Amino acid sequence: MGTSEQLLTIAAVLLGAMTTYLTNYWTERQKIRREQLTRWDDRKLDAYENYVDRVRAAVFLAVELYEHREGIRASDDPEPQLRAQLADAIRLQGRAFERIMLLAGDEVIEAAHDLNAASRAVDWQATGKQPGTLTDWRDRNREVFAAINAFHESARVDLGVSGSVLGGGHQERDLLLPPHPRGASDGAGLD
């Protein structure tokens, strides 16, 4: 075998080794990138789930406080304790929102801002900071749950989940609230 054949063989071996190395390097980088995306998607999902859970917890406490204050349904807890529980739930909701700000994209963050505004309106009427009738109360609750659905939709898009929670295939659902008390008027706050 001549020198030129030996050099050609060595070049072919080096080219094969370099190609194998580059292919393995590229494949490993893609694998790491996929793992990172999956890890961040897992964290986003946890953050989104926790945030909605915190919003709902605050809304449910606001409902209990409002119903207690308005005489719709008495609570086992005194009003100061209900107010303290609501304040704590709002604080935890704020912390959960901060995780959204760290992990989410623009659309999800905007949906979270809208959800915060809607849930604050519920909190403010429940605590008496915002006046309103029972009709206003029900409308505010409808708005917060519509904002939760909009947040869900944005989060699904961000996570690459197919389908839609706002599509035409879903029925329009109303709040699961007790009926209006008989004989109550809108002006009295219990329409």
pLDDT at 182: 52
Q: What is the pLDDT averaged over residues 44-69?
A: 95
Average pLDDT for the chain: 85
Q: What is the pLDDT averaged over residues 153-168?
A: 80
Listing DSSP states for the chain in one string gives: --HHHHHHHHHHHHHHHHHHHHHHHHHHHHHHHHHHHHHHHHHHHHHHHHHHHHHHHHHHHHHHHHHHHTTSS--SS-HHHHHHHHHHHHHHHHHHHHHHHHH--HHHHHHHHHHHHHHHHHHHHHHTSS---HHHHHHHHHHHHHHHHHHHHHHHHHHT--S-SSSTTSPP-----PPPPTT--GGGT--
CA dist 142 and 128 (Å) reads 19
Main-chain dihedrals φ then ψ at residue 71, nearest 5 degrees: 75, 20
Main-chain dihedrals φ then ψ at residue 121, nearest 5 degrees: -60, -40
pLDDT at 177: 56
Tokens of 76: 């086992």
pLDDT at 38: 63
Residue with tokens 């009295």: 188
Could you please state the CATH topology (level 3) that the domain comprising 9-166+184-188 is classified under. Four Helix Bundle (Hemerythrin (Met), subunit A) (1.20.120)
Residue 24 has pLDDT above 90, yes or no: no
Residue 40 has pLDDT above 80, yes or no: no
CB 29 within 8 A of CB 37: no
CB 47 within 8 A of CB 104: yes
Tell the burial category of 156 from Cβ atoms under 10 Å away from its Cβ (0-12, 13-18, 19+). middle
CA dist 88 and 84 (Å) reads 6
CB 58 within 8 A of CB 118: no
Tokens of 18: 């370099």
Higher pLDDT, 32 or 171: 32
Q: What is the pLDDT averaged over residues 159-186?
A: 60
What pLDDT, in 10s, does the model give residues 127-145?
999 999 999 999 999 999 9
Domain ranges of the chain: 9-166+184-188
